[in-house]
Amino acid sequence: MEQRIKNLLDKYIAGKASPADRAIVERWFREYYPESEVNLDEAAKKRIFQDLDSRIDAFLPHKRIISYQWLRIAAVFLMAFTLGLVVYRIHAPSANQQLAYTDIRIPLGAKKQITLPDQSTIVLNSGSILRIPADFAKSKRQVILIGEGYFKIKRDTLHPFVIHSGRLQTTVLGTSFNIKAYPEDSNIQVAVTSGKVKIEELAQADLARSLTKGITRNQILSYTKENSVAAITYGDAELASSWKSNVLYFDNASIPEIARTLARWYNVKVKVAGSDCDPGKRYTLHFDHEPLTQVLNGLSLLTNTSCAEKDKEVLITLNNCTPRPLTK
């Protein structure tokens, strides 16, 4: 697989890639390159590089079994290529120069509201990135979201608003909704608070698959990255976006998911001890404007875990876990 990726990037750098190949590299790069600046666990790395491999595979005449050993090799190779040659190709002046973007990056532990030229507003959660093209609103309204944001879109029936978040493309005319699409998370969630939202999957270059022609108020779409399955449920969409009011809300979340949220919310390193165990439990709970110490105390009581904090590092220990069954 590493040779296939190398060949693809070599063609891209040389300007000899086909339109389909260019779409694969550029979409993957725009979605995931910011994560090269932070530490990801092995599971997140596997998802990211398996995703690129599957996109390449979709345009090749043969299929093969993916080896995670090759994924690790490809990860090292791609890190160098992505941060070096691909960055140069995308930003270097040329006859076919790619569209320039303005990146709005929100530090861990912070939140920010922005207003776009069309008067739409977006509240961005901690650790999120919003990429705005230079020609925004001149011909079409499109942005790229990496992380989480709450959108209030100015209605314009002639110019739909499109948000690209991982493999999903969300299209609206004028509505309000929350999108949670952190690359390291296993799923993407769209929760609608008003209006109507259309969602499509773009897993293979620019080939779109409709997930829903429209979800409305208090409908929530959850998309699982691993198997490309989408499910729509009813719930309180305001709770899904309560983070913008400093309410820390977990809905049917596992301990690892809670740990990742705490790391982003409080700008701390969080480790979960007991990786050889499968707790098999998920939790729904919330904390309102509470400091990290009180959140950890409440988490310990409600989830049967032990939490310790020191020097901006948190250790969550799973108690009474059931060991994972051995695989043959």
DSSP state of 155: P
- 321 or 108: which carries more pLDDT confidence? 108
Tell me what pLDDT residue 57 has. Answer: 47
CB atoms within 10 A of CB 26: 18
CA–CA dist 290, 298 (Å, integer): 10
13-22, 43-52, 104-113, 134-143: least confident range: 43-52
According to the model, what pLDDT value does residue 195 have? 95
- Alpha carbon distance 143, 156 (integer Å): 16
Question: What distances in angstroms separate CA 71 from CA 61, 118, 284, one per listed residue?
Answer: 20, 42, 34
pLDDT per position as a tens digit, 162-190: 999 998 999 998 899 999 999 989 899 99
State the Cα–Cα distance between residues 60 and 121, nearest whole angstrom: 41
Q: Does 14 score more than 80 pLDDT?
A: no
205 or 156, higher pLDDT? 156
Please report, for the chain, the start and end positions of each structural domain, with discontinuous segments joined by +.
2-91, 101-240, 246-323
Can you tell me the distance from the alpha carbon of 228 to that of 245, in angstroms, rounded to the nearest whole number? 31
Q: Which of 239, 294, 240 is nearest to 266 (CA)?
A: 294
Mean pLDDT of the chain: 78
Per the model's pLDDT, the better-predicted residue between 143 and 324 turns out to be 143
pLDDT for position 65: 39
Per-residue pLDDT band for 274 (boundaries 50, 70, 90) equals confident
Rounded to two decimals, the pTM is: 0.69
Q: What is the per-residue DSSP string for 202-244?
A: EEETTEEEEEEEEE-TTEEEEEETTTTEEEEEE--HHHHTGGG
End-to-end CA distance of the chain: 25
Residue 4, pLDDT > 60, answer: yes
Phi/psi of residue 170, nearest 5 degrees: -105, 125
* 8 Å CB contact between 145 and 181: yes
Q: Choose from 56-65, 71-80, 93-102, 109-118 the range with maximum mean pLDDT.
A: 109-118
The H-or-E segment that residue 145 falls in is strand 141-152
Domain covering 246-323 in this structure, CATH number = 3.55.50.30
What type of residue sits at position 310? K
For residues 243 and 327, which has the higher predicted lDDT (pLDDT)? 243
Q: Options 3.40.50.880, 3.40.50.300, 2.60.120.1440, 3.30.1490.20; which CATH number does 101-240 get?
A: 2.60.120.1440
